[in-house]
Chains A and B, each alone.
Chain A
């Protein structure tokens, strides 16, 4: 089952048999089959199960909540209770081909350290996050004088797990500071509308993407060794 044809430009994500959330389907489409991976903040294991059962990956998970871990274990997945800030350090270098982080980066205490840890464990990571640069978020803040409240950002400030909100531009700044290589990048809006984030036009994506998904590489990883999903 292909979740995403290798299209560029703009396209709409079809529904998938696994009922994966669109951002997770997008992440899944960027993973090469049969690889070894760690899904950090794997929640109830929906993405991980898809990758293990449909893409033949050797997948492991890390999840902070007991309910999430139990759901994963009941699906037959191998998941360790832990949090990204502290427990990525438990894995040896190069344990995986990929480390995935879906909508968790903004919730960790130290996003910078977490990204570096992820790229210690694997030479490639796929990271998805909510884009606070979306026009609706900007408008919401400017017009109301309050923290953004939009379809994509609907949790009040005192309840959101996202303690490090960022925009697509902010995120790219961090990758430059850390010297990371960026691969494929997508913006996601209106639930399932995907747009390729094109170099030089990031400002446009920053305005129109509600969520973003980025493939990141270790600084020293040569282009030829970068994996591509089939």
Chain B
């Protein structure tokens, strides 16, 4: 490691915010059977924990999200990814609730992941990092709460991969989860979604700068591979109406076609920008591992072939939200979960929000989503006597 470490690795050590070593510093047994540890979890909190610790809202982030749900991002300087949902007087009211958002296991923002230092070798884990699952993310979040002395969660909430974690949280810890909000999620990753992820992973691994997963040794970063992965994935987060409204066939900084392969169209330029800015804040190996975790997710298989088993006997109150134009995690996936919950006689509410913004709608300004989530969280809080 004679050359300078890549930016993300360097930054990881210096990122602001609290971190906790979970499980008392002992290694954590992963779903695969592998042992990993010690495991550090970086997280952010907002609001005040009340005296009886009954006002905890746990926020689970999506594939490329992180713990910086609110406030300026330490690397990009951009506002938090769920600024519209969380804050004083918002749907998740930080004047009333103690909100905690951990960086998921395998992430690259301070939580143990492939970019973290392997204590056995003194260099980043890289591709030697064990394959992790959504279940492992949930278990390490639970251990973080143990470490912080928090037993019950008033509400666990998340969108996309966050919603997968929410569902698994409720299934694994029914007695710890008072209510659960899964937005634009699914109880398993579809074949189409696995296929898209594979395209992303192959783009990264085809980049010579990936160096078999040990790019940090060479002082390199597979930026073009990761950028292409992000570009492909980003399309799946949108919808044709959203793309058309935003860009149409408009040309970028030119009046005529170039008759070449520059970014003639605004949509191309936009995607290139998305790819280029993503690589500044994300680690390529982390992208491989987290997409893999999503691919492996299948609650039906985890619960003896019947998803209803995951929710039987649960006293948790559930809210599921989907979006009409989301083709990555379509309404049918949420409905499948609702049906299973009905079979299990669980307490479930479900809303399909009318939106043409695609999967990304859960991150955007969707007043119906805010009203639904706000009303739900408020009613749970009043039931629990938590937060004014």
Query: A69-B349, A80-B338 provided; 4 other pairs, C-beta below 8 A?
Result: A69-B351, A73-B372, A74-B375, A74-B378
Q: Is A16 an interface residue (CB 8 A)?
A: no
Q: Which B residue's beta carbon lies closest to that of A74?
A: B375
Pick 22 A–B contacts, CB within 8 A, sort by A.
A60-B347, A66-B351, A66-B354, A72-B349, A73-B351, A73-B376, A74-B378, A74-B379, A76-B379, A76-B383, A78-B317, A78-B318, A78-B349, A79-B349, A80-B338, A80-B342, A81-B350, A82-B350, A90-B335, A91-B342, A92-B342, A95-B342
**A90 touching B372 by the CB < 8 A rule?**
no
Interface size range of chain A in the complex:
20 to 34
Residue among A72, A76, A82 with max Cβ neighbours from chain B (10 Å): A76
Q: Is A140 an interface residue (CB 8 A)?
A: no
**B349 touching A95 by the CB < 8 A rule?**
no
Residues in A with CB closer than 8 Å to B349 are 69, 72-73, 77-80
For the residues of B in contact with A, the DSSP-based class is helix
**B343 touching A92 by the CB < 8 A rule?**
yes
Shortest CB distance B38–A (Å): 41
Q: Is A104 an interface residue (CB 8 A)?
A: no
What is the interface of chain B, defined by CB distance below 8 A to chain A? 317-319, 335, 338-339, 342-343, 345, 347-354, 368, 371-372, 375-376, 378-380, 382-383
Shortest CB distance A27–B (Å): 22
Q: Is A70 an interface residue (CB 8 A)?
A: yes
A42-77 interface code vs B (CB 8 A; 1 in, 0 out)? 000000000000000000100000100111111111
**B372 touching A70 by the CB < 8 A rule?**
yes
**A76 touching B382 by the CB < 8 A rule?**
yes
Shortest CB distance A209–B (Å): 35
**A66 touching B368 by the CB < 8 A rule?**
yes
B-contacting residues, A123-168, CB 8 Å? none
Residues in A with CB closer than 8 Å to B375 are 70-71, 73-74
Alpha-carbon separation in the docked complex, A90 to B341 (Å): 10
Q: Which A residue's beta carbon lies closest to that of B374?
A: A74
Shortest CB distance A66–B (Å): 6
**A73 touching B379 by the CB < 8 A rule?**
yes
**A90 touching B339 by the CB < 8 A rule?**
yes
Contact of B350 among A75, A80, A91 (CB under 8 A): A80
Contact of A70 among B318, B335, B351 (CB under 8 A): B351
Residues in A with CB closer than 8 Å to B335 are 90
Shortest CB distance B212–A (Å): 48
Alpha-carbon separation in the docked complex, A90 to B380 (Å): 26
Shortest CB distance B385–A (Å): 13
Residue among B342, B349, B382 with max Cβ neighbours from chain A (10 Å): B349
